[in-house]
Structure 1
Amino acid sequence: MGQCGINKAYFYFNGNLQDFRPKRLRGAAFVYTFRGAPTVKDALEALGVPHPEVDVILVNQKPVLFRYRLQAEDSVEVHPFEPSRQWPAGFSFEEAHPPPNQFILDVHLGTLAKSMRMLGLDVIYETNFTDKAIASLAAEQQRIVLTRDIGLLKQKNITWGYWLRSQQTEAQVAEVIARFNLQPHFKPLSRCLSCNLPLREVEKREVLNLLPPKTKLYFKEFHQCPACLRVYWKGSYYERMRQYISQIST
């Protein structure tokens, strides 16, 4: 134990976890001072790194869980999820608890929500959600939280989450696809862009009164949202969507 009961531990942040550290401190060990025996999770978040971004923690070269309590002179290596890296069994949090393919988005990400629904992904989004509501729904429904708010990801009942580095929608979509390997789960024209509900196939006669005149003449296949009754067909919108999917998939 150090002077006046103050101890030190040495933290090393790897990969994109450096994004949460001040630029002048990136790439170097950080000396964390503490009293008592805080959990490594509390220490990480005090240093600015939200727990859902962490995949592997090694203390003195041995894997530990978030509840591990720091001891004097501990050397702590913290790693993000890296698709290309294979860890020994028992090291990776994500391997033990694979993330689901369903999401809940923070209130400022409406355009991203629509873009992800366009790909057929299950995305909950409401403009009036509080941080507490987002965290509760994420826990109850087993969803990944996407946000630009680091503080939201520190909510203790959030298991899976990702802090979007970019502020541009197309770049955000690409980030999420790469991070969670979503391409195999694309189902274009399968969800309502407004309601998120799965679309149902309908006969033309069922929605005839909802169609523009030219659509009635040139299209035969239709899908409809069971909630808002919006009708979808493979028109110019569908072609733009295909181009968009092709663009973000390359």
Structure 2
Amino acid sequence: MLIRVEPDTKESQTTTEPEITIRVAEELLMFLPAVRRAPVNRVACDGTSTLGHLVESLGVPLPEAGPMTVGGEPAGPSTRPGPGDEVRVAAVPRPQAVPLEPGQVAPRFLLDVHLGTLARRMRLLGLDTAYHNDMDDPALVVQANEERRVLLTQDRGLLRRRALWFGAYVRGSRPDDQLRDLLDRFAPVQRPWTRCTACNGELVPVAKEEIENALQAGTRRSYDVYGRCSDCGKIYWRGAHGDHLERIVREARAYAAASEPAAGTASGTAAGTASGAGR
């Protein structure tokens, strides 16, 4: 079904066709095409289109739409607005609640193929973050649904897939900005230095004597505290990139504390980082 969408201009006000007025929150204007990137749009009313269809026809993926109203009354995506109705579409409230299973303290995440650096940084903070650099869209949706992971992406089409249980658009082009957006949106509990940045497995402390044969001589002389991934066996220590990774962790925890002073973060006890993580 094609829906004619017109910005709120004097010219559009002269039409005699039944119309619906849609007011979109400023935070959502980025999703609208430039030709109709205005907070108020008028769309033709055919009497059959649902609110969800109308909102996505404007360009806003439904996972990015927050509370919606029709004529001042709360409305869901299946509501069918009528002629003359005014629709308001708010942004998703932040922090956004995610259904958690018993014993789960933070959401689990799955990132698409374009967010590899963000995935490593999230793992550095101890967030359960699945990532594959070769997974197509249908497979991402299947894994997100089966493992109840929030799918993070910058692919608007992926967010429009009806089968997806929970998705979110990542704002920003730089990893620093993307990470701040993630922390602002979900306010997850952080447990830095507790996950493998390579595979997402949990890190456990390991005695130097157990692994010294796998270490280079310079590493054995310089470091005494190590961790090992319980899944892939990768060995971690505070290596050459330690200062860089410490900065990422420090800034992430400071940002979370400033955004939500009452929400604490939990730190882990496994040994820290390998060179190359988080870059």
- Please give the range of the TM-score, normalised by the shorter of the 2 chains: 0.7 to 0.9
Residue identity (%): 30
1:203-249 superposed Cα distances (whole Å, 9 cap, x missing partner): 22221122222332343322111332210123443443221222343
- 2:79 pairs with 1:68: yes
Give 2:160's aligned residue: 154
Aligned equivalent of 1:165: 171
Task: Give the secondary-structure state (helix, strand or coil) at the position aligned to 1:38.
Answer: coil
Equivalent residue for 2:108, pick from 95, 102, 111: 102
Distance (whole Å) between structure 1 residues aligned to residue 181 and residue 86 of structure 2: 31
Of 201, 204, 213 in structure 2, the residue corresponding to residue 200 of structure 1 is 204
Whether the 8 Å contact between 2:69 and 2:89 is mirrored in structure 1 is yes
Aligned partners of 1:59, 1:181: CA distance in 2, in Å?
Answer: 30
TM-score by length of 2: 0.76
Amino acid at match of 1:18: L
Instruction: Describe the shift of the 1:7–1:133 C-alpha distance in structure 2 as closer, same or farther (beyond 3 A).
Output: farther
Deviations 1:112-136 (A, max 9, x none): 1111111111111111211111112
1:49 to 55, 60, 64: 60
Partner of 1:233: 237
In the other structure, the counterpart of 1:10 is 21
Q: Say which of 221, 226, 232 aligns to 1:222.
A: 226
The structure in which a higher percent of residues are helix is 1
Counterparts of 2:178 and 2:40 in 1: how far apart (Å)? 30
Q: Give, in angstroms, the shift of residue 145 of structure 1.
A: 1.5
1:79 aligns with one of 84, 90, 97: 90
State the SS of the aligned residue for 1:137: helix
RMSD: 2.1
Counterpart in 2 of 1:3? Answer: none
C-alpha displacement of 1:178: 1.1
- More displaced, 109-118 or 63-72? 63-72
Shift of 1:7: 4.1
Matched residue type, 1:59: V
Q: Secondary structure at the match of 1:32?
A: strand
Checking the alignment, whether the CA contact within 8 Å between 1:119 and 1:245 is kept in structure 2 is yes
Q: Is the 8 A contact 1:52 1:158 kept in 2?
A: no
In structure 2, the residue corresponding to 1:179 is in which secondary structure? helix
Q: Is the 8 Å Cα contact of residues 110 and 129 (structure 2) preserved in structure 1?
A: yes
Q: Counterparts of 2:39 and 2:232 in 1: how far apart (Å)?
A: 53
**Quick check: 1:58 aligned with 2:64?**
no
- Paired residue for 1:32? 43
Deviates more, 1:211-220 or 1:115-124: 211-220
Contact 2:49 2:80 in 1 (8 A): yes
Letter in 1 for 2:182: V
SS at match of 2:205: strand
Report deviation, 1:98: 4.5
**232-241 or 55-64: which moved more?**
232-241
Equivalent residue, structure 2, for 1:211: 215
- Contact 1:52/1:159 (CA < 8 Å) preserved in 2? no
* Structure 2 residues not aligned, in runs of 5+: 1-16, 101-105, 256-279
Q: CA deviation at 1:155?
A: 0.8
Distance (whole Å) between structure 1 residues aligned to residue 146 and residue 71 of structure 2: 35
Q: Distance in 2 between matches of 1:244 and 1:122?
A: 17
Give 2:14's aligned residue.
none
How far apart in 2 are the matches of 1:246 and 1:226? Answer: 25
Q: Deviations over 1:169-200 (max 9, x none)?
A: 11111111111113xx1111111111111112
Determine the structure 1 residue equivalent to 2:191. Answer: 187
SS at match of 1:176: helix
**Secondary structure at the residue paired with 2:241?**
helix
